[in-house]
Amino acid sequence: MNEPALILILGDQLTPDRGAMKDARPGTDTIVMAEVREEAEYVPHNRHKIALVFAAMRHFRDELRSRGFTVLYFDYEQGKRSLLEALAAGLQACDAAVVKCCEPGEFRLLCALQQWQLSVPLQIVEDDRFLATREEFSRWAQGRKQLRMEYFYRLMRRKHGLLLADDGTPEGGKWNYDSLNRQGWRGKRDIPVRPPASIDRITAEVLELVMREFPQNPGDLSQFYLGVTAAQAMEHFNWFLEHALGDFGQYQDALAEESPWLFHSLVSMYINIGLLDPLRVCREVERAWRDGKCDLAAAEGFIRQVLGWREYVRGIYWLAMPEYGERNGLGAHRPLPQWFWTGDSDLRCLQSALRQTLDLGYAHHIQRLMVIGNFALLAGLDVEQVCDWYLAVYVDAFEWVELPNTLGMALHADDGLMASKPYAASGKYIQRQGNHCKQCPYSPAKITGAGACPFNSLYWHFIDRHLHQFRANPRMALAVRNWERKAEPERAAILEWGEAELARLAPGP
Ligand code: FAD
Ligand code: DLZ
């Protein structure tokens, strides 16, 4: 098509030559980008996320201009309410015969786009930044009784030739080395200190804007730590390869008092907004292993997260939306406690995970899943409210990845589509994985009575509440048996204690 196009680039589509930018022609096509109220306000996003998105958009605009593109850019102060409003202004300013936009990552925005009445046709382009297409995932899922990430991951390993020996078998003889990646944190390693963010004039202006315009949102911008260009994101990733990947595997599931990020990569936000390419990061990690910079379990563990889990959750999202977002399979409706927005919990693990989440917009996977998510699951917090909270507080949160992880993996509200059993655990798990319990007023060794860790009674309360469902799930058989084996008076005492903890920690309406 030779007609000039107006290309709309969203704040999480910052990759040249991909999506709607593929085949874009400087001098012929015009780009439009806009910081708009609707996108900035649909949840109370963490300020770090808004700052990242706006600063990265502004740097991307300049990069496109330096490549010869005309970019119409509406910054937040120009007061555009919606992307549609910005697009309409863009169409007035150029003679485009078609509008192009890469498919958005959130269902709500895709629906909005499809309703737009424009003066020229709208062409929605496939998002080709993923390692599996939506069709590929649907085809794989079709006819399967149960979807399991592990099998999809193996398909992806073969498709992209990652960590394969010459004969096509998995390196080391196994597809998955997860069992080696579960060490708890006992403070035996130095945790490397991450280099600070480099803040130029554009980023400084954005930080000021976000502080001014979003006074009620979470996020302590005095601690801004993010890269905002592809080059900076790559520097952060290279730092990870050099200083953290070696310990990433064994401490992947660890919980530490000393650090919000331990040896994690902190790259999800860059991959999600298009500053880093998921295949490239996988290949670099494979290369680091082949160069002897980390062991196979670390490399495989990392690659499985990006190539396996990340693609898998996206597949589930598009396969099951919009009905997926309505699911609440365990009937969880207890209101989200106010302290989720302050971090004021006297449980040390929750306090740590919540405070860093609110201040930095970051928590690693085990904090999201086994501390905050586990509490929400055991307490039966309202699924929709919890999902909205997760979408708001993390810098890397976009619904295609946030929703299946929260609703499916953490809250088991999707009737087992994501995971065959709930990720439910007592205080003993949290104690095993790290050193928070040493600083906590509660003891993971006690189930009831003063000083008992609330995760313990809440765990059994949860099992008891859903006994009927769990009896039908072979993967829950052990938990059910352990509960039923307890003497009736003990069960009654645990349930009574659990009730009291619920009333204290998550009071009803
Ligand atoms: P690392 O631990 O270093 O892992 C490497 C990379 O693997 C990540 O950068 C990410 O790209 C990918 N990855 C790992 N696990 C997952 C996963 N389960 N799903 C998708 N990608 C994964 N991730 C998001 O990107 N956005 C979200 O909104 C989000 N919400 C989550 C909510 C819950 C309840 C849970 C349990 C997990 C969520 N995750 C989300 C997945 C995961 O926790 C984050 O990707 C990870 O913590 C980001 O930190 P990192 O870059 O240091 O990851
Ligand atoms: C997250 C975000 C924010 C805070 N602001 C904007 C914006 O002003 N303009 C924009 O184009 N994109 C923004 N984004 C990213 C979008 O919310 C994202 O593209 C959709 O949620 C689809 O994934």
Model pLDDT for residues 119-161, shown as the tens digit of each residue: 999 999 999 999 999 999 999 999 898 899 999 999 999 999 9
pLDDT tens track for 265-302 = 999 999 999 999 999 999 999 999 999 999 999 999 99
> Residue 178: what pLDDT?
86
Establish whether residue 34 lines the binding site of ligand 2, counting it when its CB lies within 6 angstroms of any ligand atom. Answer: yes
Compute the C-alpha angle 484/416/307, nearest 5°: 130
Q: What is the mean pLDDT of residues 387-401?
A: 98
Rg, C-alpha atoms of the chain: 24
CA dihedral 107, 109, 111, 114 (to 10 degrees): -140
> Residue 179: what pLDDT?
86
Show the ligand 1 pocket: residues with CB < 6 angstroms.
264-268, 271-272, 302, 305-306, 309-310, 313, 364-365, 368-369, 373, 390, 394, 396-397, 401-402, 405-406, 409-410
Establish whether residue 50 lines the binding site of ligand 2, counting it when its CB lies within 6 angstroms of any ligand atom. Answer: yes
Q: What is the mean pLDDT of residues 316-327?
A: 97
Share of the chain above pLDDT 90, in %: 97
* Spatial CA neighbour of 204 closest among 49, 54, 79, 12: 54
Burial of 169 (C-beta count, 10 Å sphere; 0-12/13-18/19+): exposed
- The number of the ligand nearest the C-alpha atom of 410 reads 1
Contacts of 103 (CB under 8 A, 6+ apart): 19, 110, 124, 125, 126, 127
Q: Is the pLDDT of residue 180 over 90?
A: no
pLDDT tens track for 13-64 = 999 999 999 999 999 999 999 999 999 999 999 999 999 999 999 999 999 9
Q: What is the mean pLDDT of residues 232-238?
A: 98
pLDDT tens track for 77-101 = 999 999 999 999 999 999 999 999 9
The rounded Å distance from CA 311 to ligand 1 centre is: 11
3-class SS of residue 43: coil
Are 186 and 255 contacting, i.e. CB atoms less than 8 angstroms apart?
no
Backbone torsion region of residue 409, taken as left when φ is above 0, otherwise alpha when ψ lies between -120 and 50, otherwise beta: alpha
Are 362 and 268 contacting, i.e. CB atoms less than 8 angstroms apart?
no
* Spatial CA neighbour of 130 closest among 284, 318, 324, 364: 318
The Cα 506–Cα 509 span in angstroms is 9
The Cα 33–Cα 75 span in angstroms is 9
* Spatial CA neighbour of 240 closest among 281, 301, 182: 281
Q: Is the pLDDT of residue 2 over 90?
A: no
Q: Is the pLDDT of residue 394 over 90?
A: yes
pLDDT tens track for 469-508 = 999 999 999 999 999 999 999 999 999 999 999 999 999 8
**Range of lowest pLDDT (80-84, 175-179, 214-218, 268-272):** 175-179
The rounded Å distance from CA 306 to ligand 2 centre is: 22
By most ligand atoms within 8 Å of CB, the mutation choice from 131, 236, 365 for ligand 1 is 365
> Residue 182: what pLDDT?
83
The reported pTM is: 0.97
> Residue 270: what pLDDT?
98
Pairing type for strands 98-102 and 122-125 reads parallel
φ, ψ (nearest 5 deg) of residue 179: -65, -20
H helix or E strand, kind and range, residue 59 = helix 47-66
- The number of the ligand nearest the C-alpha atom of 106 reads 2
Q: Which atom of ligand 1 is nearest to the CA of 372?
A: 34
The Cα 367–Cα 94 span in angstroms is 48
Position of tokens 């295609």?
Answer: 400
Establish whether residue 397 lines the binding site of ligand 2, counting it when its CB lies within 6 angstroms of any ligand atom. Answer: no
- The number of the ligand nearest the C-alpha atom of 37 reads 2
> Residue 231: what pLDDT?
98
> Residue 104: what pLDDT?
97
Q: Is the pLDDT of residue 1 over 70?
A: no
Distances in whole angstroms, Cα of residue 287 to Cα of each of 132, 279, 424? 22, 12, 36
The rounded Å distance from CA 452 to ligand 1 centre is: 31
> Residue 120: what pLDDT?
96
- The number of the ligand nearest the C-alpha atom of 109 reads 2
By most ligand atoms within 8 Å of CB, the mutation choice from 9, 10, 46, 58 for ligand 2 is 10
